Chains A and B, each alone.
Chain A
C-alpha cells in the first residue's frame, strides 16, 4: 500500500471504515489486501448482481470519444483512482471492485444503450457515470426501470430527484445563490449580464439566478443571451456588454465556446481585474484550454478548487497526479466523480448489502470525511450537503480561494420561489 493512499485516509474516516468492516480482519488495512473474507455472497446480494465472494463489479460510463471526451476524461480518471484506492484498502465488504468501462461516445442514446447493457448483461452493482444533463436524462429511465444505482458527478440544473441516482455534484441553487450573495455584498453589484450556452443547464441556472437577483438582491438583469453549443463568435455580445456596462457578467458558457469567449473578451479590452465576472462553468480543466492569461481575475463559484488547503486535498492532488501525470489538473467535477466510489463503499457497508434498494435506503445520512472538498453528507433527496466556494482565477490556471460558506449548503433540487 503506497504512502499516498495511506495519507488519503484521514483518521476519522479510517475509524469509520474499521467499524464498518468489523467483520474483516484488521490486518487487511495494513498489509496487501486479501479478498474473499467478507460476509457470504448470498447475504449481501439477494438480487442477482455481479457480486462474487471475491469481487464486485461496477460500471464506468463516460464519453471517451466525441466532443464530450474533453470534459469526461477527468471524471474517468478520478473514478479509476478512487476504485484503486478502495481496492488497496480491502475493497467493499471484502470484495475487490472490478469495473467495466463503457464509452457513451458523447451521444445520448448510446449512453442509454450502454447503461442498459451494464445493468442487464453485466449486472453491475453501481454505475459511476454521465456528465451532461442530456446523458443523465437519457440514462435515468433505464436506471429506474432496471433498478440500478448511478453516481452522477456534474453540477447540474436540479429539478430532478431519483431513488436510483446519487448526485455528487451541486444542484443549481446550491452552486449559484451563495456566489451571487457574495458578489452582491462584496462588489456592491446591482446589475448583471447573463450569458450562457443554449441548453437546459445554463437556462435553468440563469432562471434561478435571475429570480435571486431580482427578488432577493433587488438588482437588475440587464441582458440575457444564449449561444449555440460550440459557437466561437462572441463579438456582438461583448459589444452589448460594453453598452450595458453591467456590474457583473454572469456566465455559464460551456465547452469549446469558453475558449473563444474569454479570448475575445480580453481582446475587446474588458479587463477582468476591473470588470467583475462570475462564472459557474469554468473549472481548472477549462482554463487549461482557455489559457490562464485570458481569464485571470475572473471569479468562479463552485464547491471545489484544486488549490484548496486541507489535509484531504493535500493527499488527493499528489495521488491523482502520480497516477495520471504531473500536468493534469483537477476541476470541480473531477473531484465530485472521485466521491462516487467512496460514497458507494460507505453506503454498501452501512447497508451491509449490495442490493440496490438497501443501498438507496441507506444513502441518506452517509458522511464522507475524506473528501478532498472536505466533509460531505448525503441528503434525503440524494444530493450532497456541501460548502460553496468562490475562487479567483490566477495566471497559472489555478484558483485562489476567496470565500467559502460557513456551513454546508442544503441541496434543494426543487427550490420554492425559483421556478
Chain B
C-alpha cells in the first residue's frame, strides 16, 4: 500500500500516526485515572463512571453558553473555568452517591456493580429529561480549533496537544496527592488495612468519601476535555465504559503506573492496527489481545501484592 508515496510523505504520516496514538493514549489515561483511583483504592466498581464524565461535559456546555450570553469577551478562556466547574460538579455528585449508596455496600463489591449500573440508568434518563435526547455541540474558543503546522506536511491538532498537556498535568497532581501528601498516605493506609487505619485515628469514612469524590471529579474533567473531540449526549458515557474498565484491569487495579502503561500499550496497538485495517476490526483485535493477555496474566501488568 505504500508503493505510490514518497519517503517524505510516509515519514510525516508516521509522525502524525504516532501522534494520533499519543492522543488516544491521553484520552485513555484521562478516562481511566478516576476509575483507577476508585477501583484500585476502594475496590468499588463504578459502572456510572461514564455518566460522571458526561456530567462534566454538560457542565462545560452550560458554561460555554453562559459565557456566550453574558461574557462574550472572556469566551477564549472559558474552558479553564468549565473544567474546574466540571470537577466540582462531578466530585460533589460523587460524594453524594458515596454517602447515599456506596458506603452501604463496601462488603459486597459485586453488588456495587449492580447498584452503580442502576445509578447510571437513572443519570442517563435524568440527562435526557433535562438536556433533551439530542446531542449538544460545545462551541470551542477559536484558539483551540485547527492545527499547528510543524513542517510543511506534518500537522498536529491543537486540541490533541491540549488534551495531552492536561493529562500530564492531572497525572502529576494525582500522583503527588496519592503518594506524597498526608491525605494520600491515609488513603493508602485505608486500602491496606481498614481496621488498623481506623485504629490509628484515620477517619476512614471521610477518606472513602473524598477518594470517591476525587475519582468522580477527575471523570468530570475528562468529560469536559472530551467535548473537544467527541459528542455529548445522554448515552455517550456508555461508549467509554468498557474501554475504561479494560485499561484499569489490564494495568493491574491498584497501580497508577500500571494504568498508564496499559493505556499506552492499548492505545498504540489500536491506533497502529487502525492504520493497517478497518477501524472495527482493529478494535476487535485490540480487545482480543487484551482479554488474551488477561487470561494468561489475570492480575494485570502491574499488580500490587496485597494479602487478600
Contacts and interface: CB of A to CB of B under 8 A. Distances in A.
Interface of A: 64-67, 69-70, 73, 198, 225-228, 230-240, 242-243, 256-260, 263-264, 266-269, 285, 288-291, 293-294
A232 B275 contact: no
Contacts of B239: 230, 232, 256
B278 A269 contact: no
Contact of A256 (B125, B233, B279, B280): B233
Interface string B209-229: 000000000000000001011
B27 interface: yes
A337 B13 CA distance: 44
A233 B160 contact: no
B133 A243 contact: no
Contacts of B138: 291
Interface residues of B, number: 48
B147 to A, nearest CB: 4
6 contacts: A231-B280, A232-B231, A267-B146, A267-B159, A288-B134, A289-B137
B229 A264 contact: yes
Contact of A289 (B125, B149, B231): B231
Given A232-B239, A289-B137, 6 more contacts: A242-B13, A256-B236, A259-B230, A259-B232, A267-B146, A288-B137
Given A230-B239, A232-B229, A70 B133 contact: yes
B188 interface: no
Contact of B160 (A64, A65, A243, A267): A267
Given A263-B229, A263-B230, A225 B278 contact: yes
Nearest to A72: B133
Contacts of B24: 233, 235
B60 to A, nearest CB: 13
Please name the 4 residue pairs, one residue from A and one from B, whose CB atoms are nearest each other, closest first. A259-B231, A235-B20, A289-B135, A267-B157
Contact of A232 (B125, B128, B134, B230): B230
Contacts of B280: 198, 226-228, 231
Contacts of B17: 236, 239
B9 interface: yes
Given A243-B5, A293-B139, A267 B134 contact: no
B21 to A, nearest CB: 8
B16 interface: yes
A268 B147 contact: yes
B147 A289 contact: no
B271 interface: yes
Contacts of B278: 198, 225-227
Nearest to A238: B20
Contact of B279 (A226, A263, A264): A226
Looking at B137, B235, B271, which has the most chain A CB atoms within 10 Å of its CB? B137
B170 interface: no
A231 B270 CA distance: 13
B147 A236 contact: no
A290 to B, nearest CB: 6
Contacts of A239: 13, 16-17, 20, 275
B42 interface: no
A266 B145 contact: yes
A238 B13 CA distance: 10
Contact of B147 (A225, A227, A269): A269
Contacts of A66: 235
Contacts of A228: 279-280, 283
Contacts of B10: 243
B291 interface: no
A284 to B, nearest CB: 11
